[in-house]
Structures are given as C-alpha cells and as structure tokens.
Amino acid sequence: VAAGRDFIDAVANSSPARLALIVFSLVILVFTALLSLPAASVSGDVTPLHDAMFTAVSAVCVTGLTVVSTAAYWSVFGQVLILVAIQVGGLGILTMASLLALAVNRRLGVRGKLIAQEGMNTGRLGEVGSLLRIVVATTVLIELALAAVLAPRFMLLGEPPVQAIWHAVFYSISSFNNAGFTPHSDGLVPYENDPWILIPLMLGVFIGSLGFPVIMVLLQSRLKPRRWNLHTKLTLVVSFILLGAGSLLWAAFEWFNQQTIAGMGVGDKILHAVFASVMMRSGGFSLVDMADQDASTLVITDMLMFAGGGSASTAGGIKVTTIAVIFLAIIAEARGDTDVRAFARNIPAGALRVAISVVMLGATMVAVATLALLVITDQTLQPVLFEVISAFATVGLSIGLSPELPPAGKYVLAATMFAGRVGTITLAAALALRQRKPLYHYPEERPIIG
Amino acid sequence: VAAGRDFIDAVANSSPARLALIVFSLVILVFTALLSLPAASVSGDVTPLHDAMFTAVSAVCVTGLTVVSTAAYWSVFGQVLILVAIQVGGLGILTMASLLALAVNRRLGVRGKLIAQEGMNTGRLGEVGSLLRIVVATTVLIELALAAVLAPRFMLLGEPPVQAIWHAVFYSISSFNNAGFTPHSDGLVPYENDPWILIPLMLGVFIGSLGFPVIMVLLQSRLKPRRWNLHTKLTLVVSFILLGAGSLLWAAFEWFNQQTIAGMGVGDKILHAVFASVMMRSGGFSLVDMADQDASTLVITDMLMFAGGGSASTAGGIKVTTIAVIFLAIIAEARGDTDVRAFARNIPAGALRVAISVVMLGATMVAVATLALLVITDQTLQPVLFEVISAFATVGLSIGLSPELPPAGKYVLAATMFAGRVGTITLAAALALRQRKPLYHYPEERPIIG
Ligand SMILES: [K+]
Ligand SMILES: [K+]
C-alpha cells in the first residue's frame, strides 16, 4: 500500500496535469459502463452508448446537462450512480485542482499560505492522500449541514422520511458540487417561491463555487479579512461583483417578460433574479425555462457562464481570478502603470500571460464546439452557443438542445464538458510549471497595436 | 496659415487621440447635414436624421452598411457626397492613425523606421500636413491604377464612357478605402464570375487593409523582406494566414450549400471563397446574400470581421498585429519562455497589455451594442451579432438588419461604427503614450489562475 501511495505521489509531482487527465478519463469510462447496465434504467434496457456516456461525463464533470430525464429515465440504482459520480467527480476536481495549485506554488516559490499546508507533507497517507482527506472532510461536513436544513422542509411538504432524506442528500451533494442535477421530474419549479429550499441551494452552490483554497482560508482565518491571501480577496470580490451584476441585469431584462417573472410580486422577482445569477455561473439549477427568457438574458447568461467560479472549485468557466488579473492589467494600463496591483500586492507578469492563455483556450474550445454543432444540426447561433458555453463551463443550464442532438452532437457536447472541466485547470498548471528565465534576449521592437 | 499649421501640430502632439475624435465628429456632422439636403435624394425629400446620419457615419467610417439603397435612394449629388465622405474618411483615418503611431514611437523611443520619416519634420507644411501629403499622394496613385484597370472592363460590358469611368472611380475609392459601398443597385452580383472586376477589387481591399505604415515600408524597401520592420512582417504574415484560413473555412462550409455556390464550377467556387475571405476582414463587398449562408459561415465571418486588418489602415477590427502579439505571448507561455519573440525581436510586455486592452474594449463594445439591439428589437443573437460586429469592425457586410431597425437601433449601430472606427486606435495610442515606470513596487503574490 505504501508503495502505491509513493507511486501516486511521484506521478502527481512529476506530471500532475497528465494524472488529472488519466484519472478523469478512467472514472468516466467506469460510470459509462455502469450507467449502460439494464438495472440503471427504469425500462430495464441497455442505454445507448451516447446517452450513457453523455450522462456519465455530465455527472463526473458536475455539469448537469441531460439527454434523458434524471427522474423519469434512470432507476433508483441509476440515480444513485449519478449521485456517486457527482460526488467522486466533485472531490476529484477539488483535489486535483488544489494539488496542481500547490505544485505551481511550490515550483514558483510563491509567497502566502495557499491552503492547509500544515496538513501536507506529513503522515503516512502521502501528499495526495492527505489533501484528499481534508477535502473529503470539509465537503462531507458542508453537505451534511445543507441536507440537515433541507430534509425537514421536504418532510413538511409531505414526503415520507426516507424520500425526504434522499432528496435532501441529493440536492445537498448536487448543489455543493455545482452539479445542477435534480431528482424531481419537474426540477425546482414546484419550489420556485420557497426560500427554505432555494436559499440553502444558493448557499451550497455559492460556497462550492468559491473553490477549496478559498474555503480553507475562510475557515482557518475565522473570517478575518486581514489574514486572507490575495487569491481569497480577488475570488470573493469578483464573485460578489458578478453575482450583483448578474442579478441586476437578469432582473432588468426579465422584469416585464410575461413568460417568466412579469406576473410575480417584487419579492419573488428579486428572489428569482438572485437565484438565476447564482446559478448561471455554474450551479445549473433553474426556476424558469431558459427558452422563455429574452435573447438579451441569454447573452448575459452566456457571458457569466463563460466567466465561471473560483479556481480549484467545482465551478467551471475561465474562473474569476483569471478575469480579475486581466481586468487589473487593463486598469494598470489605463493608469499608465507597468505594475499590475491589487490589495497592496504586485501580480507577476507571468500570471497575466497564463490568464490570457486560459481565456483564449476557452474561447477556442467554445468556438470549435459551436461550429461543429452548427454544421451537424440546422440550429442557429443563439441556442447552440448557449448549450456549448453551458457545457464548456460545466454549468448545466439548458435551452433544450442536448436531448434533440444526434449522437455525433452529443459526443461533441460531452467532449466540450470534459475539455472545459479538465482543460483549463491542467493548462494553467502546465503553463505555470514550465516558466523559466530565457538564456538570451533579442533586441526589443514594438509593432503598432490597435 | 503658418500659425494655423503650428496650432494643428501642437494639438496633434499634445493630445492626438482627442484631435482624432473631434475631427471625425465634425466631418460626420457636415456630411449628415449635406446628405439631409433635398438635392441628395432621388425623391427630392429631406432625408430623416437617422438615415442621413447613419449613411454619413457609414461613409466617413468607411463601413458600407446602408439603411437605404445607395444606387436607388441617393441622387447623383448624394452619391458623389458619399464618395467624397469615403475618401475624406479614409484619408483621415490613415493620417490620424499614422500620426498616433508616430507619436507613440517617438514617446517610447522605439527602434525601427515606422514610416517615411524623411518626409517628416521638414518643410513649411508642418508634420500633420507633411504626413497628409504623403498619404494623399500614395492613395491617389493606387486608386488611379485600380480605376485604370476597371474602366475599360465596364466599357467592354457596354456602359457609356462617362458612366464606366464614374463606376471605375467609385469602385477604386470604395475598395482601397475598404468602404464596401457599391454604385450598382444589385451590387457586385452581375460580375460574380468576372475576374477582371473581382481581382482588382480584392487587390485594392487587401492592399488598403494592410495599413499605411506597411504600404510605405513595402514601397521603400522595394519588396526586400530583409529591410522590413517587425510591424510589416507581423502584419503580412497574419493577414495571409487569416486570408487562407478564411478561404478554406468559407469554402468548406458553403461548398454544398444550394443557396450559395453549390451549383457552380470548382474555379468559381474557389474565386467566391477567396473573395469572401478578403472582404470579410473589412472590405464589405459580397457576391452572395449573407442570409443565405450557413450559420457556421456566419460565425466564422463574425470572427474574421472582429479580427480586422492592419493598424493605421482603413480596415477596422482589433487589427492583425493585436492578434499576433496575443498569439505570440501564448506560444511563449506554452514554451515556458518569459520573452515574447518574433522574427528575432523581443516584443515588450507593454505591447501585450495594450493588445489585451484593445481586445477587451472591442469585445465590450460588441457586447453592449448587441444587448442594446436585442432589447430594442425582437431579433435573435445570430443576425444581431453579425450586424453589430460588421459595424464595430467597419466591414459593412449585412444580413439585412440595418434597414429594418427603428431609429434607436440605427443610432446604436452608428455609434458602434464610430466607436469601432475611432475607439480602438485612439485607445491604443492613449494607453501607449501614458506608460511610465512605477515609483515603488508592492511584494509579489500570485493568485491561482484557471
Ligand atoms: K453545473
Ligand atoms: K468596409
């Protein structure tokens, strides 16, 4: 066993990005095989490969896009498989991404305590095991708290205790892992005016979207901002700005939309707007039909889905710190500063180049998948771009395109989910780990820009 | 007169960006007033402000989007006004942008001869006048050459000499200035298989899209690549790559499209693909109805329109050197280099930050205009994004949305053309001119990216 641990640690340290790719692929294949079993579906039939694989990828990558109804198509065994896949995928992402961030920081000798480093490099479990233990303990604790709040509500609404607990556990795991799967056939619509259910879901999704390094710093610093590192401050500030902007714009564009919230009271309208804003950056739960929303709302949702959540979180997208670094660089440029600054800290130029690479890789993935689906189907840009960005950023909000796609289209979306999930974090780590000083410099020459 | 010249030179040197904005606004107002005159329209009516202003902005910003038919709505006087507006706008852009580039290079003490510096700082005309003289001479020479090739063809096709010369002059000015206006009521469709007309148009547009600094270097170096500066090399390489990629993708997506080129021979198909690729980065002429194209073609066109042409050219978009710098930075990052290199030159970090600012400003302009039009109209994303990017990048390809817009929508598109035309070049210059060394540094801290 010890030899196995040493082997895993050695691989994790020599090429953490490759390890992440291999582990994720294997886990997805296992769940694809399990979901294909006749016992996993209500009908007792073998599920076609494209549907089983799409569902496995969607669950392991905590996306929430579906090609069949989770509640109606899958048996209880199938639903348990999906829940386990979400939990394994979520824990895997948190562990992998934290591990990659640790590797980067160790290589670059970065200042500032990133995560619970006391727990690292000690004990028999090895580094990977030690990190995984902390991640699992934190995750289970938060999920239990969420389930404990939700279960009584489902019981009060008349569900038998076992079913209420099952639903509470499903929603707590689905929300904290930003998975967006729902065990009810009509999703959250029956609870659209029930804060007792919506607020815990929002909290679970929002905390989950901050990322493990931020959650650890918040827990260890006992919420004292003076002890927060730069990463935590940037993640929190940008997350709250995007949450506020998303709520305002969603409310502005939908306020008078008869198909969505126009008929509701002001309080419910605001609850819907905040809920939509929390969910569009990765949660994937929805209270209204995406196709009923105004085209302007869909474009805002496209943007916020692409933005995503915190680094080393179960949220996807290009991540809020990536946006922060680019925005700060532009601010610095507008002021004429050559240093990029935030909270009395200097952000190194290397971080900006990694951020640009992540954005461009993300934009390229979205563009390629969009073009592929436009060629495969007869759809127009609006629905295709929405579904593709939802897949890339593992959000799971759907305009209804996924179930209608031919198998080739389902594979394209599945590949987009996988690439979006594993691609950006491994790219960022791989790039940061390769930085070295050049041996010689060419003379400088500046082309005209713009 | 000498005092006036000194005043213009002083303003141009102290705040070239502000001068560009003021001059462009004034020129647009003058042409709006002139186009409003009853004599400018065939009907003899006063043209409504939104249509007159839209046409004036489209002509001065060399865009080519129209809300009324150039051939059918405007009188000969109106058409001459449009042609003069195109020529004034084109010369203005070349002069302004070259002036800004000169100011940046002088301030930054940049290596490498940018443009015909022998002609600068000498004579009584002052710097602005001297530059303008070179720009005018070069432009008129190239336009005369194009007209001399086109006029005989129109005569051979049966047009009377005066009309043939008028059409030849119109197309030569419209193509070299990348304006995309056509004097024929059915555009270029009658000549869609006529290389004698299409090839001069492509050459005019392509040369015009390289930008004045590149044209001057090419003329002075007598096409010897060893004497080219970095800006010229980057512009040419990226322009040809985009030209090739655009042709291939356009051909791939349209090859079997019955509504466009499926029925043609292979030679005509290739001619159409290359023509479309040349025009989509700024020319704005078209041989097929944009609305007949496949959705995937529209997305590729969106991307290449946004990319645009060379700096200090009549082409719009974010410019090819901006793309080059960002792409090279990503390549450097992937290799682990901290220096961004090209053609044995080191591109300074400041150029990368300006490039990112230009891209983000462009994306923001497109996003704001798109959201505004989605709110104003009942359209979906696909046509709105196409028309908005065409306006932002002053391309002029139209999916037919502009004439259908209510006045508010026409003003949004006009503002987008103006901002896209003047915004990116002045922003880039303003940013580059402000760069200074910081007085102190904060300690470095690196957030997790991606
Ligand atoms: K999700
Ligand atoms: K144009």
Confidence of residue B265 (pLDDT cuts 50, 70, 90): confident
- Report CA torsion sign: B362, B368, B373, B378: positive
B122 belongs to a structural domain: yes
Averaged pLDDT of chain B: 84
Between the CA of B114 and the centroid of ligand 2 the distance, in Å, is: 25
Confidence at B53, pLDDT banded by 50, 70, 90: very high
Q: What is the mean pLDDT of residues B334-348?
A: 82
User: Under an 8 A CB cutoff, do B442 and A341 touch?
Assistant: yes
Using a CB-CB cut-off of 8 Å, the residues of chain B touching A300 are: 371
Q: Return the closest-CA partner of residue A360 out of A450, A436, A431, A262.
A: A431
Q: How many cross-chain Cβ pairs, A to B, lie less than 8 Å apart? A: 273
Q: How far is A59 from chain B (nearest CA, A)?
A: 21
Identify residues whose C-beta is under 5 A from ligand 1, the ion.
Answer: A 64, 178, 180, 284, 396
pLDDT at B125: 45
Distance A170 CA to ligand 1 centre (A): 14
Whole-number Å distance, alpha carbon B279 to ligand 1 midpoint, is 41
Picking from B404, B416, B406, the residue whose alpha carbon sits closest to that of residue B371 is B416
Q: What is the pLDDT of residue A417?
A: 92
Is residue B115 predicted with pLDDT exceeding 50? no
**Pairwise CB contact (< 8 Å): A449 & B299:** no
Mean pLDDT of B237-241: 94
Residue A440: inside a domain: no
Cα–ligand 1 centroid distance for B373 (angstroms): 30
Taking an 8 Å cut-off on Cβ atoms, the answer to whether B319 and A374 are in contact is no
Which range among A42-56, B54-68, B256-270, B423-437 shows the weakest confidence by mean pLDDT? B423-437
Please check whether residue B410 is in contact with residue B85, taking contact to mean a CB–CB distance below 8 angstroms: no
Which residues of A, range 78-137, sit inside 8 Å of B by Cβ? 101, 104-105, 108, 110-112, 114
| Beta carbons of A427 and A353 less than 8 angstroms apart | no
Largest CA distance in chain A: 75
A-contacting residues in B 241-260 (Cβ below 8 Å):
253
pLDDT value of position A120: 40
Say whether B338 and A437 touch across the interface (CB within 8 A). Answer: yes
The closest ligand to the CA of A283 turns out to be 1
In a domain, A370, yes or no: yes
What are the DSSP E strand ranges found in B214-293? Answer: none
Q: What is B141-180 written as a DSSP string? A: HHHHHHHHHHHHHHHHTT--HHHHHHHHHHHHHHHHTT--
Q: Tokens for A211, please give them.
A: 């990322």
Residue B255: inside a domain, yes or no? Answer: yes
Closest CA to B297 of B276, B279, B315, B316: B276
Helical pair B349-376 and A349-376, crossing angle rounded to 10 deg: 40
Residue A74, judged by CB atoms within 10 A of its CB (0-12, 13-18, 19+), counts as: buried
pLDDT at B314: 86
Contact A357 B294 (CB under 8 A): no
pLDDT of the residue at B241: 95
pLDDT of residue A365: 92
Q: Is A38 on the interface with B (CB under 8 A)?
A: no
For residue A8, pLDDT beyond 80 = no
3-state secondary structure of A30: helix
Give how many domains chain A has, as a whole number: 1
pLDDT in tens, A192-231: 888 888 899 999 999 989 988 888 888 877 777 887 888 8
Residue B371 pLDDT: 95
Nearest CB neighbour to B447, from listed A231, A431, A434: A231
CB contact, 8 Å: A359 with chain B? no
Q: How far is A17 from chain B (nearest CA, A)?
A: 13
Dist CA B106 CA B98 (whole Å): 12
Q: Give the B window 54-83 contacts with A, CB below 8 Å.
A: none
CA nearest to A253 within chain B: B375
Number of C-beta neighbours around residue B209 at 10 A? 28
With cut-offs at 50, 70 and 90, classify the pLDDT of residue A18.
confident
Q: Rounded distance, CA A81 to CA B416, Å? A: 51
- pLDDT of B433 strictly over 70: no
Percent of chain A with pLDDT over 90: 34
Radius of gyration of chain A from Cα atoms? 22
Element (H, E) at B341: strand B340-342
| Residues B209 and B310: beta-carbon distance below 8 Å | yes
Say which of B213, B330, B335 has its CB closest to residue A448.
B213
Of the pLDDT bands very low, low, confident and very high (cuts 50, 70, 90), residue B282 is confident
- The residue range of the domain holding B91 is 2-434
Given a contact cutoff of 8 angstroms between Cβ atoms, the answer to whether A392 and A415 are in contact is: no
In a domain, A443, yes or no: no
Chain B 270-299, residues with CB within 8 Å of chain A CB atoms: 294-296, 298-299
Residue from the list A429, A443, A450 with its beta carbon closest to the beta carbon of B358: A450
What angle (nearest 5°) sits at the alpha carbon of residue B310, between those of residues B22 and B17? 20
Band of the pLDDT at A348, cuts 50, 70, 90? confident
B253 to chain A: which residues are within 8 Å by CB? 375
- Among A110, A339, A380, the residue with its CB nearest the CB of B446 is A110
Q: Do B326 and A360 touch (CB under 8 A)?
A: yes
Mean pLDDT in residue range B418-444: 73
Torsion of CA A275, A276, A281, A285, to 10 degrees: 80
Crossing angle of helices A381-392 and B381-392, in 10° steps, is: 90
pLDDT of residue B72: 86
Q: Is A41 helix (H, G, I), strand (E, B) or coil?
A: strand
**CB contacts, 8 Å: B385 with chain A:** 381
Q: How far does residue A279's CA lie from ligand 1's centre (Å)?
A: 8
pLDDT value of position B438: 66
Q: Is B162 part of a structural domain of the chain?
A: yes
Classify residue B445: in a domain, yes or no: no
DSSP H or E run through B242: helix B230-254
Give the closest of B321, B330, B447 to A448, CB-based. Answer: B321
Confirm if A310 and A232 have CB atoms less than 8 A apart: no
B21/A40: higher pLDDT: A40
Give the model confidence (pLDDT) of A142-186 as tens digits.
999 999 999 888 888 888 888 889 889 989 988 998 888 888 777
pLDDT at residue B113 greater than cutoff 50: no
Please indicate, yes or no, if residue A441 is contained in any of the structural domains. Answer: no
Backbone angles phi, psi at A346, to 5 degrees: -100, 125
3-class DSSP assignment, residue A340: strand
Residues of A in contact with B450 (CB under 8 A): 311, 318-319, 322, 354-355, 358, 424-425, 427-429
Work out the pLDDT band at A307, boundaries 50, 70, 90.
Answer: very high
Write out the DSSP string of A198-240: HHHHHHHHHHHHH-HHHHHHHHHTTT-GGG--HHHHHHHHHHH
Q: Which helix (H) or strand (E) holds B6?
A: helix B2-14
Its ipTM equals 0.87
Give Cβ neighbours of residue A267 (< 8 Å, ≥ 6 apart). none
pLDDT at B123: 39
